[in-house]
Amino acid sequence: MPEIIKDRAIVTDDWVVVRLDEGKSVDMALPQGKLIVPLSMWLSRRDELISRGEVGVWLSDTDEPELVAQDLHLFKVVAVDFPKFAVGRGYSTAALLRTRYGYQGELRAIGDVLRDQMFYLARVGFDAFSVRPDRSISDALQALNDYSVTYQGSVAQTQPLFARVNRIAADERQNGS
């Protein structure tokens, strides 16, 4: 079974991401099991998908998170797809899902997910990562520790550095503290 990083650990994963490539349409026949479906499929087959039991949805880099805002309580997983690691719209999508729409379940980065972006992804609210299969998942896990300090607030740590620690002022330091 494939592995993902979840809550800072490597775990096996039984969710299947349904992609509509190769001429498939939203009406395609669905396999058994736990599915993370594209937003378009969710919007057109909502009732059916709910009746299947546990369901997840994924947003493409251009899908608006507003479109699932009312449905978030129905999902076990929400995934955001990164078509290329350097296409960064999904960072704002994640931040909005977490802060504006209050989503608290699993938020998973899928697609071109690589270790050098892990730290940022975690900070905007992703807690699960489906690392690109040709790359080492344990290396990627390590990258969550690339930095021990951050300046600005984020989803993971809402307070900026200046609000969470007492940074010593210039004067005090010059006096040799």
Partner 1 sequence: MYQYDEYDRQIVRERAAQFKDQTRRYFAGQLSEDEYRPLRLQNGLYIQRHAPMLRIAVPYGLLASKQLRRLASISRKYDRGYGHFTTRQNLQLNWPEVARVPDILEELAEVEMHAIQTSGNCIRNITTDPYAGIATDELIDPRPLCEILRQWSTFHPEFAYLPRKFKIAVNGAIEDRAVTYLHDIGLHVLKNQQGELGFRVIVGGGMGRTPVIGKVIREFLPWQHILSYCDAILRIYNRYGRRDNPYKARIKILVNAIGPEKFAQQVEAEWAHIKDGPTTITQAEYDRVAAHFKAPPYANLAAVDAGFEKSKKDNTPFAKWVERNVRAHRVPGYAAVTLSLKKPGLAPGDCTADQMDFVASLADQYSFGELRVTHEQNLVLSDVAQSDLFEVWQKARDAGLATPTIGLINDIICCPGGDFCDLANAKSIPIAAAIQTRFEDLDYQHDIGNIEINISGCMNSCGHHHVGHIGILGVDKHDEEWYQISIGGQQGLSASLGKVIGPSFAAADVPDVIEKLISVYLAQRHVDELFIDVVERLGLELFQKAVYGERTRGGRVAERKVANA
CB closer to partner 1, 48 vs 116: 116
Residue 87 CA to residue 72 CA, distance in Å, equals 24
Is there binding between residue 123 and partner 1 (CB under 8 A)? yes
CB closer to partner 1, 22 vs 171: 171
- Take residue 171 and report the two structure tokens written for it: 């004067």
Which residues 29-88 are close enough to bind partner 1 by CB under 8 A?
85-88
- Take residue 127 and report the two structure tokens written for it: 């807690």
Query: Closest approach of Cβ 128 to partner 1, in Å?
Result: 16
CB closer to partner 1, 44 vs 159: 159
CB closer to partner 1, 104 vs 159: 159
Instruction: Please identify which residue in 27, 170, 175, 176 interacts with partner 1, judged by CB under 8 A.
Output: 170
Residue 74 CA to residue 106 CA, distance in Å, equals 12
The count of residues interacting with partner 1 (CB under 8 A) is 41
Taking each continuous run of H as one helix and of E as one strand, the counts in the chain are 7, 8
CB closer to partner 1, 40 vs 150: 150
Q: How far is CA 97 from the centre of its chain?
A: 10
Query: Closest approach of Cβ 17 to partner 1, in Å?
Result: 22
Which residues 100-119 are close enough to bind partner 1 by CB under 8 A?
100, 114, 116-117, 119
Q: What are the DSSP calls for 43-97, one per residue? A: HHSHHHHHHTSSEEEEE-TT--GGGGGGGGGG-SEEEEEESSTT--HHHHHHHHH
**What x/- string results for residues 145 through 164 when contact with partner 1 is judged by CB under 8 A?**
-xxxxxxxxx---xxxxxx-
CB closer to partner 1, 26 vs 120: 120
User: Residue numbers of the site for partner 1 (CB under 8 A)?
Assistant: 85-89, 91-93, 95, 99-100, 114, 116-117, 119-121, 123-124, 146-154, 158-163, 165, 167-171, 173
